[in-house]
Amino acid sequence: MAAPMLRWCCLGRRWVLACVDSGSRHGRGAAIGFTSSRKRGQSSVAQQPLITAQKSRKGEHKWAAVVGLEIHAQISSNSKLFSGSQVRFAAPPNSLVSFFDASLPGTLPVLNRRCVEAAVMTGLALSCRINKKSLFDRKHYFYADLPAGYQITQQRLPIAVNGSLAYSVCAGKKPSQVISKTVRIKQIQLEQDSGKSLHDELRSQTLIDLNRAGVGLLEVVLEPDMSCGEEAATAVRELQLILQALGTSRANMAEGQLRVDANISVHHPGEPLGVRTEVKNLNSARFLAKAIDSEIERQIHELENGREILNETRSFDYKLGCTMPMRDKEGKQDYRFMPEPNLPPLLLYDTASLPPGADPQQVINIDWIRERLPDLPSETREKLIQQYGMLPEHSFALLNEVGLLEFFQNVIKETRAEPKKVTSWVLNIFLGFLKQQNLAVNESPVTPTALAELLNLLDRKAISSSAAKQVFEELWRSKGKTPSQIVSEKQLELMQDEEALERVCHTVMEGHPQVVMDMKRGNSRAINKLIGLVRKATLSRADPTVIKEILEKKLSS
């Protein structure tokens, strides 16, 4: 029998994840060797949805999948973690490399204060315990884009531990059925990024660019509390929004600033966890959920056919849509961790423990950072719901697109229209146009001011809502015109002259005596036909509610 059919809770519309990035990274710089040596927590996991393999040969089998993630986020900083060379995407090869980054003898690491603050900030935002003392270690592996032969990381005592990340997934087909979930965060550690390798298969050589070597990374380790690709992808998306709100990482997956490895296993509920595989380098939001689900499906298929799951490293082939074993690692790696001899322990302080007279440039105060944390996405959503009576799914949608919330707030500031109207216009019409033409919010030809003015016209009933849509289309096409200009050019304003409208109604009624008869006989639907005819006669420039009033008045008289 073919792969078992899967049925689980988290299928449904993936609105939280809509449109994150376009395309994956090309096979550049697969950073191998970033496995942390952690052991999976064996603690039981709440709310595991069951995966049922239908029509299995051995009768009804239930499978539960367990997914844990290791996420690498590049810290947004001017300079690298331990050197003063610049951090920048797509610079000329090896132009952002210091002697330390190239591991020349005699160079030493000097810790970047900004990277430590970013780690503390991220830890606080994810409700972690911040370790006031953390340690740096060397993790050894040999690869051409790691010139030192080791990566400086935090294996024994990381900077932040025991946090949590809350995210929401759709429960059913309706976007309003949202389930809140939480994944525990095991730890956040500071570490160095590796360089990039460009593989030239033709000439059988590898080109090395060390621009990325030594950039600060936050490795965020999520406990295996997730159970399908959808949940994992949504958790990653929420983390991405949090990092962006904090400004600690730009977290752009297309530029490799957010990279995900997934640990996946399946088992029968009540039985011990299965053997896990690690799917590496999930560097595209679009394929994250798919890669995880296809690996879950593969493991179930293997087990149902009496085969074993090997504890191996796999990668996702997005063209084939399945995971493949990675060949470059044979057997177990021996990272030979050792304490980094060139870096003393990293000490952090709070207001109570701050040594008196300490040089403010040399001490980091956790309380000071906590007080300056910006609103997190969950708080921003809650405020939108409170302030504007917005539906939760609309608050998600507004935060899901870069710059959309700001656009919305600018429109709100300048318009008298109701927040509900603004929300609907921004999310349905404005966002629809953007999506259709694959534009970002900041590339929109329509400014918040123009939309605000348009909504004002609509609000004071100067134009009908269908005319407003026409004006919007025109605004999109012809940059620089104001909504009022378009309305007067196209003669779209509603007829304010009631007498003129009454004359039109009169003419229409005279022209259609049969419909008027139907109405008088009590066919309530006939009035809609008359309204339509009047609107047509006024070139859609009359307000249907006003027409209705006039018609009803005329009929009853």
Partner 1 sequence: MWARVVRLGFWSWGSWRRGFTSKADPQGSGRVTAEVIEHLERLALVDFGSQEAVARLEKAIAFADRLRAVDTDGVEPMESVLEDRCLYLRSDSVVEGNCAEELLQNAHRVVEEYFVAPPGNISLSKQDEQEPFSHN
Positions touching partner 1 (CB under 8 A) are: 77-79, 83-86, 92-100, 102, 104, 110-116, 135, 140, 142-144, 197-201, 204-210, 328, 330, 334, 336-347, 361-362, 364
Q: Which is nearer to partner 1, 99 or 503 (CB)?
A: 99
Q: What are phi and psi of 199, to 5 degrees?
A: -90, 120
Q: Which is nearer to partner 1, 196 or 286 (CB)?
A: 196
Q: Which is nearer to partner 1, 117 or 261 (CB)?
A: 117
| Cα 275-276-277 angle, rounded to 5 deg | 135
Q: What is the dihedral of CA 267, 55, 230, 381, to 10 degrees?
A: -110
Please state the separation of Cα 129 from the chain's center in Å. Answer: 25
Q: Which is nearer to partner 1, 202 or 352 (CB)?
A: 202
Q: Which is nearer to partner 1, 15 or 349 (CB)?
A: 349
Residue type for 157, please?
A: L
Give min distance, CB of 129 to partner 1, in A: 19
Q: Which is nearer to partner 1, 150 or 430 (CB)?
A: 150
Give min distance, CB of 114 to partner 1, in A: 4
β-bridge pairing 178-192 and 216-226:
antiparallel
Q: Which is nearer to partner 1, 17 or 118 (CB)?
A: 118
Give min distance, CB of 105 to partner 1, in A: 11
Give min distance, CB of 341 to partner 1, in A: 6
Give min distance, CB of 315 to partner 1, in A: 14
Residue 183 has, within 13 A of its CA and on its CB side, a CA count of: 30
User: CA 299 to CA 291: how far, in whole Å?
Assistant: 12
Give min distance, CB of 115 to partner 1, in A: 8
The owner of tokens 């999109």 is: 476
Give min distance, CB of 258 to partner 1, in A: 20
Give min distance, CB of 100 to partner 1, in A: 8
User: CA 547 to CA 538: how far, in whole Å?
Assistant: 11
Give min distance, CB of 13 to partner 1, in A: 41
Q: Which is nearer to partner 1, 338 or 500 (CB)?
A: 338
The owner of tokens 């946090």 is: 163
Give min distance, CB of 255 to partner 1, in A: 19
The tokens for 20 are 């994150």
Q: Which is nearer to partner 1, 116 or 125 (CB)?
A: 116
Q: Which is nearer to partner 1, 57 or 199 (CB)?
A: 199
Q: Which is nearer to partner 1, 357 or 513 (CB)?
A: 357
Q: Which helix (H) or strand (E) covers residue 221, if one does?
A: strand 216-226
Q: Which class for 205: exposed (0-12), middle (13-18), buried (19 or more C-beta within 10 A)?
A: exposed
Give min distance, CB of 119 to partner 1, in A: 13
Q: What are phi and psi of 346, to 5 degrees?
A: -90, 115
Neighbours of 76 (CB within 10 A): 19
* DSSP one-letter code for 446: S
The tokens for 279 are 């799917």
Q: Which is nearer to partner 1, 63 or 82 (CB)?
A: 82
Give min distance, CB of 363 to partner 1, in A: 8
SS3 250: coil
β-bridge pairing 150-153 and 137-140:
antiparallel
Give min distance, CB of 71 to partner 1, in A: 23
- Closest to 153 measured CA to CA, from 139, 141, 143: 139
- Closest to 235 measured CA to CA, from 220, 246, 213, 249: 220
User: CA 173 to CA 492: how far, in whole Å?
Assistant: 39
The arrangement of strands across the sheet holding 338-339 comes to 150-153, 137-140, 338-339
102-135 in b/e burial notation, b at 16+ Cβ within 10 A? beeeebebebbebbbbbbbbbbbbbebebbeebb
User: CA 172 to CA 550: how far, in whole Å?
Assistant: 45
Q: Which is nearer to partner 1, 112 or 240 (CB)?
A: 112
Q: Which residues contact 360 (CB under 8 A, 6 or more apart)?
A: none
